[in-house]
């Protein structure tokens, strides 16, 4: 993979002007000019962040996994090592249930309540009703 162009925050600010919108998200530099009219949140939000680090607002909104993958085609560089901020990334939204993910097993395995306890509760409830109302 070719070496990414290295930008300082000052260079990002200068690169973003009337004809180009350049933003920083997680220390990566993106030229989002071609995406302005396609952005689901409207072009204004991207224009407002032009020349700036938009990582915090990007994290606050939450983006789908597809959106995170789509961003790669707009990446034009990264912030120089000395100026990197490295805010923590949030995972994108996960669509659907993935039965192959062992993390999900804790939510679906087992009956959740022992069957004997459930039957015992029903029997006790029936006895209570029988003695109270008859």
CATH number of the structural domain spanning residue 67: 3.10.120.10
Inside any domain, residue 25 = yes
How far apart (Å, rounded) are the C-alpha atoms in residues 41 and 35? 11
pTM: 0.62
DSSP-based three-state secondary structure for 111: coil
Q: What is the largest CA-CA distance in the chain?
A: 85
Is residue 42, in this structure, part of any structural domain at all? yes
> Looking at residue 30, what is its pLDDT?
95
CB atoms within 10 A of CB 56: 10
How many domains would you assign to the chain?
Answer: 1
Domain that holds residue 22: 6-79
Q: What is the pLDDT of residue 99?
A: 56
Is residue 12 within 8 A of residue 29, CB to CB? The reply is yes
CA-CA-CA-CA torsion for 7, 11, 15, 18, nearest 10 degrees?
Answer: 150
Q: What is the number of other CB atoms lying within 10 angstroms of the CB of residue 63? A: 18
- In-domain check, residue 96: no
The pLDDT assigned to 87 comes to 54
Q: Is residue 98 part of a domain?
A: no
Q: Identify whether 52 is part of a domain.
A: yes
| 111 domain residue, yes or no | no
Give 41-96 pLDDT, tens digit per residue: 888 989 999 999 998 888 888 888 888 888 999 999 999 999 998 655 556 555 55
């Amino acid at each position: 993979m070719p070496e990414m162009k290295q930008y300082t925050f000052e260079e990002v600010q200068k690169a973003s002007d009337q004809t180009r919108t350049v933003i920083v998200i997680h220390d990566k530099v993106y030229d989002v000019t071609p995406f302005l009219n396609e952005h689901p949140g409207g072009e204004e939000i991207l224009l407002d962040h032009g020349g700036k680090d938009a990582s915090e607002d990007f994290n606050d909104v939450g983006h789908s996994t597809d959106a995170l993958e789509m961003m790669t085609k707009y990446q034009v560089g990264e912030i120089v090592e000395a100026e990197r901020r490295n805010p923590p990334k949030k995972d994108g939204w996960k669509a659907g249930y993935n039965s192959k993910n062992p993390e999900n097993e804790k939510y679906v395995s087992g009956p959740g309540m022992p069957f004997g306890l459930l039957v015992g509760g029903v029997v006790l409830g029936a006895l209570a009703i029988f003695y109270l109302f008859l």
